[in-house]
Amino acid sequence: MVRHPDGGLDRNRPARRRGWFGRLWSSARTRRAWAWLTAPLPEPPEGLRRGPLRAGAFGSPLRSARLTSQLGIALGVAFGICFLTGLYSHVLQHPPSWLWLPTRPAGLYRFTQGLHVATGLATVPLLGAKLWSVYPRLFTWPPVRSLVHAAERLTVAALVGAALFQLISGVLNIAHWYEPMPFFFTNAHYWVAWVAIGALVSHIGVQLPVVREALRRKEPSSGRREFLLAVGIAAGVITIATLGQTVRSLSPIALLGPRRPGTGPQGLPVNRTAASAGVRDAALSPDYRLTVTGFGRTVTLSLADLAALPQHTTVLPIACVEGWSSIGTWTGVRLKDLLGLIGADPAKCSADIESLQAGGRYRTSTIGAPDDDRTLIALRLGGEPLAMDHGFPARLIAPNRPGVLQTKWVGRIVVRSAL
Ligand SMILES: Nc1nc2c(c(=O)[nH]1)N[C@H]1C(S)=C(S)[C@@H](COP(=O)(O)O)O[C@H]1N2
Ligand SMILES: [Mo]
């Protein structure tokens, strides 16, 4: 007779009163398949068992199921936060047409993306400690006991690989160091996140009983508490040294944040300068015009025309995907007023904001809710004309919007009906 993996069912038990899943699970065919998947595989020859593969090769008394479980829970929470905040950032940058996204609170993205980067970085010591606590299992003997065991090990390998990839690529992106990444960071970081979360969910499913058991059993600490404390302190220090890139009072100790609030022209950091975007001449030209076009109508506005329109001031952050953010006081023309100039109803439109840049990934952005009162084509920052590097002569600034979509050096606005 085939024993069911949970040991509780036997073949003679009637399948009645079970749902389709229960029936499928207890069917003879499923049991046979399961038995085949869990059947012991032949062991490799003992002669291969050398070096780290020897029994008892790793003897640190610090390692225990309890330590691994506690680190695992902390990591699971950090990865979960990272995944959700990252997904939110992705959705804001690639909004599905069926999804309504709020523009309030205006600083929400600043918070979620700061959290994304801070938890991501705090994960570094946690992941290091977790991998240290389990790496002797790389050398378990026999390496695979059954096909199911092999699948489980592959899942763990995928999880470790994906987690390391996310941390390393994220840190490289913050450092603007793209040479080691022969792929487009944003896409890779997004898709590998799904690999990581899929592998994580399956890993948790498999390990939950082990974790429960390890946490129930009381065992002497033998240095475990001190170790956890050290890992916690490392994570805390990293977090504090990162938060300074959004929290101004912490900026003097923002050792891990390459860009900090209060630095840069007009007290605001810059990611792409006018020179590197190749827009200096077009932006400074006396022939500069802002074109608003759509529904068969077009208006062109000189800087003087723009300045003659009603001006509004709003306090909004630039919140970069890299986690830094900085608040500015912006003054300019409401986007909805510009849409009104061509007779478009801003509540029923979306607008493509195009910069003077000839190319580049962030040349344009689309804004789905151009009717927000706080969405401006800003001409001034802190009361002064925009610095060249902040988008002179005109830039978009909108609430709850990732920095990459706050298009600088705006030259044309194309209005479409929202679908
Ligand atoms: N035209 C254009 N606008 C752009 C960019 C760009 O490369 N080109 N970079 C964006 C990014 S990634 C950020 S974080 C903000 C930064 O704005 P700031 O330089 O004024 O702080 O500008 C955004 N606007
Ligand atoms: Mo950015």
What's the pLDDT tens digit per position in 81-138? Answer: 999 999 999 999 999 988 989 999 999 999 999 999 999 999 999 999 999 999 999 9
Give residue 360 CA to ligand 2 midpoint distance, Å. Answer: 13
| Closest by Cα among 65, 324, 114 to 216 | 65
What mean pLDDT do residues 153-160 have?
96
**Alpha helices (H) along 42-107:** 65-93
Beta strands in 164-296 (DSSP E): 290-294
Ligand 1 nearest-atom number relative to CA 364: 1
Res. 282: pLDDT tops 70: yes
**pLDDT higher than 80, residue 8:** no
- CA of 418 relative to ligand 1 center, distance in Å: 25
Query: Which residue has the CA at smallest separation from atom 9 of ligand 1?
Result: 404
Going from the Cα of 406 to the center of ligand 1, the distance in angstroms, rounded, reads 6
Ligand nearest 321 Cα, by number?
Answer: 2
Q: How far is the CA of 362 from the centre of ligand 1 (A)?
A: 7
- Give the model's pLDDT for residue 26: 86
| Beta strands 395-397 and 376-381, pairing class | antiparallel
- Which pLDDT tens digit goes with each residue over 283-324? 999 999 999 999 999 999 999 999 999 999 999 999 999 999
Using CA atoms, how far residue 194 sits from 83, 180, 198, 229, 298, in Å, is 9, 22, 6, 31, 43
Among protein residues, the one whose CA lies closest to atom 7 of ligand 1: 362
Categorize the per-residue pLDDT at 1 as very low, low, confident or very high, splitting at 50, 70 and 90: very low
Residues 299 and 339: their CA atoms lie apart, in Å, by: 10
Average pLDDT over residues 208-219: 92
Q: Is the pLDDT of residue 232 over 60?
A: yes
The backbone torsions φ and ψ at residue 80, rounded to the nearest 5 degrees and listed phi first, read -60, -45
CA-closest residue to ligand 1 atom 15: 403
On the question of pLDDT at 368 being above 50, the answer is yes
pLDDT tens sequence across 22-52 = 888 889 999 999 999 999 999 999 999 999 9
Give the tokens for residue 358: 């000839």
Residue 86 CA, chain-centre distance (Å), reads 3
Question: Could you give the CA distance from residue 377 to residue 310 in angstroms, rounded to a whole number?
Answer: 12
Alpha-carbon gap, residue 313 to 328, rounded angstroms: 10
Whether residue 325 has its Cβ less than 6 Å from ligand 1: no
Tell me the ligand closest to 411's alpha carbon. 1
Q: Tell me, what's the pLDDT at 6?
A: 47
Residue nearest to atom 11 of ligand 1 (CA): 404
Q: How many other CB atoms sit within 10 Å of the CB of residue 373?
A: 12
What are 315-365's pLDDT values in tens digits?
Answer: 999 999 999 999 999 999 999 999 999 999 999 999 999 999 998 889 999
At residue 16, the pLDDT reads 58
pLDDT at 14 over 60: no
**What CA–CA distance (Å, rounded) separates 82 from 117?**
8
In angstroms and rounded to an integer, the radius of gyration of the C-alpha atoms of the chain is 28
Does the CB atom of residue 350 touch ligand 1 within 6 A?
no
Q: Is the CB of 324 under 6 A from ligand 1?
A: no
Best residue among 290, 361, 408 to mutate for probing ligand 1, ranked by most atoms within 8 Å of CB:
408
Q: From ligand 1's centre to the CA of 179, what distance in Å? A: 21
Beta-strand pair 290-294/410-417: parallel
Distance CA 72, CA 198 (A): 16
Sign of CA dihedral 109, 111, 112, 117: positive
More confident residue, 192 or 249: 192
Please state the atom number of ligand 1 nearest to the C-alpha of residue 322. 14
Of ligand 1's listed atoms, the one at least distance from the Cα of 356 is: 1
pLDDT, mean over the chain: 92
Q: What is the pTM of this model?
A: 0.90
Q: Are 91 and 99 within 8 A, CB to CB?
A: yes
- Cβ atoms within 10 Å of 366's Cβ, excluding its own: 14
Specify the pLDDT at position 17. 67
Is residue 319 lining ligand 1, measured as CB closer than 6 Å?
no
Give the mean model confidence (pLDDT) for residues 201-225: 91
